Amino acid sequence: MLDCKNIKGMLKAVSDVMIVNKNKLIEMDSIFGDGDLGLTMSDGFEAAYSAISGSEETDLGKLLYFAGKAMASKVPSTMGTLMATGLMSSGKALKGQVELDIEGLSLLLDSYITGVMKLGKAKRGEKTFVDGFIPAVDSMKESANSGLELKEAIKKASDASKEGYLQTKDMLAVHGRAAIRGEQSRMEYDPGAYVATLIVGAIADYINNVD
């Protein structure tokens, strides 16, 4: 079961991995975008974690919502707002819960992408963050239904996210600056989908290294 300490640990893990990958994200985003993705993700998730790191709140939903609000304030760009909205959406879905099992973590991820998609209007197959995150959500739901243990389930979800990201290279971008490049957008992997793999991968690594 995951509690408030684990939620903080998961956000810390995501923040750390964004800092490590900041330059890679800047490089990827510079191909078709404005190159600020690395700064947005590292600064944003660091703010999200910092906002709750010292909190004594045990309601997991409130922790996630507070983290999202802090991120939205720190990085009010398009991608920053989308990621912050995901956190706040998860917070609303988990309000009142103090522990999460596999079904709870599945709900956290599902509500996260629901919030992102509602705000961003992106669908699967449109070369965005969604393409790296939905496979993880689908995998978690399948694992929950089949009775897998949490650690194995989140590892499978991470693998599914990476596979979704790899499939973005052949997709045609229909959102953002990459869409302006038309067929040229098929030449590169989507940086937003890579962010998705970093988030799910960091959560998986954290969960598989806690007792």
Pick the closest to residue 141 from 129, 156, 162 (CA basis): 156
- Considering the chain, what is the average pLDDT of its residues? 93
pLDDT per position as a tens digit, 142-164: 999 999 999 999 999 999 999 99
Residue carrying the six token digits 């992408």: 113
Cα(200)–Cα(155) distance, integer angstroms: 9
Global pTM reads 0.94
Q: State yes or no: pLDDT of 179 exceeds 70.
A: no
Domain boundaries, the chain: 4-207
**CATH architecture of residue range(s) 4-207:** Alpha Horseshoe (1.25)
Percent of the chain surpassing pLDDT 70:
92
Q: State yes or no: pLDDT of 181 exceeds 70.
A: no
Q: Are 143 and 156 in contact (CB under 8 A)?
A: yes
- The confidence score (pLDDT) of residue 177 equals 60
- The confidence score (pLDDT) of residue 169 equals 87
